Structure 1
Amino acid sequence: MSEYVGAIVLELDGKEIDVANVSVTINAGRKLVKTMNRLRRAKGFTKTVKEVMLKVTAVIDPDNPVVWEDIEGAKISIENPDGTLRESYLECGSISVGKQYDTENEARIDIDMYALDHVVE
């Protein structure tokens, strides 16, 4: 049976902002080392810094204005409906911001973010 996410919340300065969609990309912290050799293939890898990148689509609330491009120290929490799994991305900050408008839905904003830590509770 499939598991569905129950709630996605962006916590910013004590306020909760509804999030419609989150896409997570984790760079594992390894990079190929390409060397000159007869086999013409990489010889190994080196360890680098692990990166967590997020693409967030949030609903714009006109009663709760946010300066989206200045987000720092935010927390994004994702939990399933029965509360047995909670995933949090900590110390999030915005990298780039883009707005989208649709005639059928509310105004939304797309934010590319980084997260300094990822915790499964």
Structure 2
Amino acid sequence: MTELLRIASTRFTSYNADRVDMVGDIAFLCNLFSDVCDSATMTLCMIEAARSRITQEQADSQAEKERMEIQLKLIDEHLLECRRVQKLRELRSNTKTKNPGRCSRLKRWFKSTLSSRSVSAK
């Protein structure tokens, strides 16, 4: 994807709506496949979105400016959601769970204690 962004940056100007659309499509793919999206692609999308936001005033018409603004908001939403999912996945993988063997040993001890008491009571 970074190769695609590199080619788009040479072909389109920063304020070109096609370039913003391409960044939007890549951000959408990052959102869909957040488990395999790398941070370099997300960073490049953020940089391209910021660059387009700065040069947005050079767009040809007011309608194109408004469309770019909507597209830039969608890019931000997609990238934020992708980053949120990645952080959540990272937290889940780093979180240690309690050892299930400890509870099973406690259960066995409790059962053996109960069974030995019931045998001695007879």
TM-score by length of 2: 0.19
Structure showing greater radius of gyration is 2
Greater fraction helix: 2
TM-score by length of 1: 0.19
